[in-house]
Structure 1
Amino acid sequence: MTTQSLAGKTILMSGGSRGIGLAIALRAARDGANIALLAKTDTPHPKLEGTVHSAAEQIREAGGNALPIVGDVRNDDDVTGAVLTTQGEFGGIDIVVNNASVIDLSRSLDLPAKKYDLMQDVNVRGTFMLSRAAAPILKDAENPHILSLSPPLNLDPKWLGAHTGYTLAKYGMTMATLGMAAEFGRFGIAANTLWPATTIATAAVQFALGGDAMMKASRTPEIYADAAYEVFLQSSRDYTGRSLIVEDVLTDAGVTDFARYAAVPGTPNAELFPDIFL
């Protein structure tokens, strides 16, 4: 069984005020999906565009139903409240997207302990707690999915040692997700990870990776959104426990031309910047 549309489906996402998370939400909204966003950004940030409220407005304009929930994925009460509020508003939960993530590529000797803890709390613990809290409700969905925006487990020392603190946090997201795929498979709940082959033009790339030069050598968040959409349409009982690559998912869906996803139109694929961990 594959789902042909996300109309009437309910997505609970951590983060989503901007960037990749918002792009995924907007793609689902075009089908008429319900999207609940658990995000901290209640008021405008001086450097980052968008709030949970502005994201909700864009979701509604795209054709979906939006439920903005101001909260922190690190707070257990906020997580439980988001799950119950989403269920109460929309009658259930079909998809959980673990989008919230903190990035710091500092080397181990330069990484502040507080930043290490923050990455572990948001990336790993947040993924685990939100997925776990939603699982009893996901069990009742027709085609339930958990999707975490994290990379495959590449044990090459090049990546293990490049930024050990961040690597631990992102690989932790993946391990939590693959563990839940094994644990919850008997309930028909799929759990997969999704990661792009090239960098994506987001605030993380702008401020943490490479500035304007890397932004110009990246793809737009829409490529991630289109791939996530394809994952959500798959049968949850068959399509699970996978570390997926964005471009491979789209290729399998019949996409042959990725030129439209270039952040700068006309940029050859060979000039795009490969993402980390691959």
Structure 2
Amino acid sequence: MSDANTTPRVALVTGGSGGIGRAVSERLAADGFAVAVHYGGNARRAGQIVDEIVAGGGRAITVVGDVADEVGMAEAFDSVEAEFGGLDVVVNTAGIMVLSPVASLDLADLDRMHRTNVRGAFVVSRLAANRLRRGGALINVSTSQTRLQHPTYAAYAASKAAVESLTLVLARELRGKDITVNAIAPGPTATPLFLDGKDEHTVERLAGPAPLERLGTPEDIAEVAAFLAGPGRWINGQVVFPNGGIA
């Protein structure tokens, strides 16, 4: 993953202190990337991830910012470029999920989700479109719920459907810049956030529909992100569904 000058490629992972974000940060570091682990509120956990990457011989820093705040995120991008000299890959894992039937949905929750998931995706994508070096990649994160239509997921799935549309259009808009733009849409994945509050029976029920008969792991998702960030240069303007065949 290094060029002739042994300069590592550089990645920014938004939401890098979360379950999938952490796995992506660690996988890209293992692939030789210098990694900026972004966090919105959990500085301690982001710092632990950086410490582990550095202890393993990698290069990593933390950056902070509200993904929906264009000024704060521009400063985060500035910090990455100042530390590592440029930016090649952005993996935008930051997002929130609130579940509710449509009939009883609290519109404040809808607004909060859309601020982070939709506006945040636009802010990060716009910055990436202007900052990534040639040969770079932007990878947004959606969800397989845009296809599964499970009850209580309407507001969350709607916010992620917007992310998919943004991704597909932006890939065409960046013609001539040699930057790929794709989305990953995971199925049920065993992150701490996903497992919180679920008993063993519920987890088994959610794992059942996949032909592989298990939940995904954060590492499964990181594998796809690493491919799109590195060798998968001919995949562009696509939504990839790492979900074990559930949809």
Aligned to 1:148: 140
Q: 1:179 aligns with which of 151, 154, 169?
A: 169
Q: 1:116 aligns with which of 105, 110, 118?
A: 110
1:245 aligns with 2:237: no
Distance change in 2, residues 1:175/1:186 (3 Å): same
Q: Distance in 2 between matches of 1:31 and 1:123?
A: 28
Task: Look up the SS of the partner of 1:185 in the other structure.
Answer: coil
Q: 1:195 aligns with which of 180, 185, 189?
A: 185
Give 1:161 deviation, angstroms: 6.5
Task: Look up the SS of the partner of 1:204 in the other structure.
Answer: helix
Distance change in 2, residues 1:187/1:211 (3 Å): farther
Aligned to 2:48: 54
Aligned to 1:75: 69
Q: CA RMSD in A?
A: 2.7
Q: Distance in 1 between matches of 2:194 and 2:145?
A: 21
Give 1:160 deviation, angstroms: 8.1
Distance change in 2, residues 1:213/1:20 (3 Å): farther
Aligned to 2:211: none
Supply the AA of the counterpart residue of 1:37.
Answer: V
Residues 59-138 of structure 1: pairs in structure 2 closer than 5 A: 59-138=53-132
Aligned to 2:223: 226
Q: Is the 8 A contact 1:38 1:72 kept in 2?
A: no
Deviation per CA, 1:182-228, whole angstroms, max 9, x where unpaired?
Answer: 111321111101123x42110232137x4444556423211111121
Aligned length: 236
Q: Is the 8 A contact 1:95 1:146 kept in 2?
A: yes
- The structure 1 segments of at least 4 consecutive aligned residues displaced by more than 2 Å after TM superposition are 3-7, 41-44, 61-64, 151-154, 160-164, 210-217
Give 1:121 deviation, angstroms: 1.0
Deviation per CA, 1:239-274, whole angstroms, max 9, x where unpaired?
Answer: 200111226xxxxxxxxxxxxxxxxxxxxx8xxx94
Q: Distance in 2 between matches of 1:15 and 1:224?
A: 14
Q: Is the 8 A contact 1:202 1:215 kept in 2?
A: no
Deviation per CA, 1:83-127, whole angstroms, max 9, x where unpaired?
Answer: 111111111110011100111121123222221111111111111
Distance change in 2, residues 1:176/1:30 (3 Å): same
Q: Distance in 1 between matches of 2:231 and 2:188?
A: 25
Deviation per CA, 1:131-159, whole angstroms, max 9, x where unpaired?
Answer: 11122221x33x210101114695x6x61
Task: Look up the SS of the partner of 1:97 in the other structure.
Answer: strand
Aligned to 2:210: none
Task: Look up the SS of the partner of 2:38 in the other structure.
Answer: strand
Structure 1 residue ranges without an equivalent (≥5): 45-50, 248-268
Supply the AA of the counterpart residue of 2:88.
Answer: D
Aligned to 1:19: 19
Supply the AA of the counterpart residue of 1:91.
Answer: G
Distance change in 2, residues 1:112/1:183 (3 Å): same
Q: Is the 8 A contact 2:13 2:24 kept in 1?
A: no
